[in-house]
Amino acid sequence: MKESGVNFYESSGKVFIKSQAELETMAAAGRLASECLEWIVKQVQPGMTTQDIDDLQVDFAKRHHVVAAPLHYRGFPKSICTAVNDVICHGIPNQNHVLKEGDIVGIDVTLVLDGFHGDNAATIPVGAVSESTMALLTATLEAQRRGIEIVKPGARIGDIGHAIQSYVEPKGFSVVQDFVGHGTGRGFHEAPQVPHYGRQGRGLRLTPGLVFTIEPMINEGAWEMEILDDGWTAVTIDGKLSAQYEHTLAVTKDGVRVLTVQNDDGRWEPPGGWAPDGYTF
C-alpha cells in the first residue's frame, strides 16, 4: 500500500531508527512477506479473479498466524492490493474482475509479524504479453534495483529518486509523483517519504537503522493519475499501463540490507521471485 502525502501519511514526521533486535524482527517479517508474494505470484494465471488473489493472501496469513496489514487499514476492505493494467496502486480485489491473457497485475503484500511490517510488491504478466509491455516491466524492475543500489550511509533521499527517474525517462516512461515509498516499522507508513524522482544531493541524509521502502511506480504514458469512485483505486490519467516493484530495506553501516528477500545476506532479489526471461542481476 503506497504512501501519498495527502491520503495515507500516518506519521508525525519523526524518523525512527531501528535497533539491531528490531531489524532482525523486521527481517523475519520481510522474509515471510517475500515467501507469501512468491507463493501467490506462482499461482496467477488467466481466468483467475483478483478476488482469488485476495483469497490466497487470506489463506497464507491464516496458516502463518499473521495479520495482513491492508485489511481495514483506513477502511480498505481487502487483505491485498491488486493493480491490473492501468491501475497504479490500491486496486480492490473483486470477484468479477477476471484476469485475461496479456494483462499485467501488480500484487502488493504487507504482513505484520510480532508488531512489525514486511511490505513488498511485484507486477507480473498474465500469460504471454506484448514486447512493449515486457519492456515496461523490465525497466521498472531495473529502476528499483538501481534505486536500492544507491542506499548507503551518507546518501540522500533525492539520490534514490534521481537514479530511478534518470533511468526510466530516457526510455519514454514516466515516474508517478502522487505516491511514494515510505518508512515502515511498527507503523505501516512512517517517515521519511521516499519519492521515486528527484535531484541528487537533496533530502534526508541516510543513516544506519533507517528502514523504508523503495517501490517505483512507472507508467507507460503520462505520470498523472486519478482516483476512481471507490475512493482507493488509482489509475493512469491516459489509460496506459503502470508497473511497480517494492522492497523494504534497511540502511546498514556498510550499505543496504534488503529485508523482503529469502536469502540470509539481505541481497537484492526480484520481488516475488519473478523476473523477465534474460534479465540478469
pLDDT (tens digit per residue) in 57-72 = 999 999 999 999 999 9
Buried b (16+ CB within 10 A) or exposed e, 113-149: beebbbbbbbbbbbeebeeebbbbbbbbbbbbbbbbe
Verify cis geometry, omega within 30 degrees of 0, for the bond prior to 93: no
Written as one letter, the residue type at 241 is L
CB 133 within 8 A of CB 142: no
This prediction has a pTM of: 0.96
pLDDT, position 13: 84
pLDDT, position 41: 98
pLDDT tens-digit profile, the chain (281 residues): 665 543 444 555 889 999 999 999 999 999 999 999 999 999 999 999 999 999 999 999 999 999 999 999 999 999 999 999 999 999 999 999 999 999 999 999 999 999 999 999 999 999 999 999 999 999 999 999 999 999 999 999 999 999 999 999 999 999 999 999 999 999 999 999 999 999 999 999 999 999 999 999 999 999 999 999 999 999 999 999 999 999 999 999 999 999 999 999 999 999 999 999 999 98
Strands (E) located in the chain:
67-68, 81-84, 87-89, 104-113, 116-125, 174-175, 181-183, 190-194, 211-214, 217-219, 225-227, 234-236, 242-244, 247-251, 256-258
pLDDT, position 12: 59
pLDDT, position 144: 98
CATH number for the region 20-273 comes to: 3.90.230.10
Quick one: which H or E segment has residue 132?
helix 131-149
pLDDT, position 281: 87
CB 107 within 8 A of CB 53: yes
Give the whole-angstrom CA distance, residue 180 versus residue 196. Answer: 6
Domain boundaries, the chain: 20-273
Using the 8-state DSSP alphabet, how is residue 81 labeled? E
pLDDT, position 218: 99
Count the Cβ atoms, other than its own, within 10 Å of residue 266: 19
Written as one letter, the residue type at 152 is K
Give the whole-angstrom CA distance, residue 234 versus residue 8. Answer: 13
Using the 8-state DSSP alphabet, how is residue 150 labeled? T
Residues contacting residue 92 through CB under 8 Å, at least 6 positions apart: 76, 77, 78, 81, 82, 230, 232, 233
pLDDT tens-digit readout, 142-187: 999 999 999 999 999 999 999 999 999 999 999 999 999 999 999 9
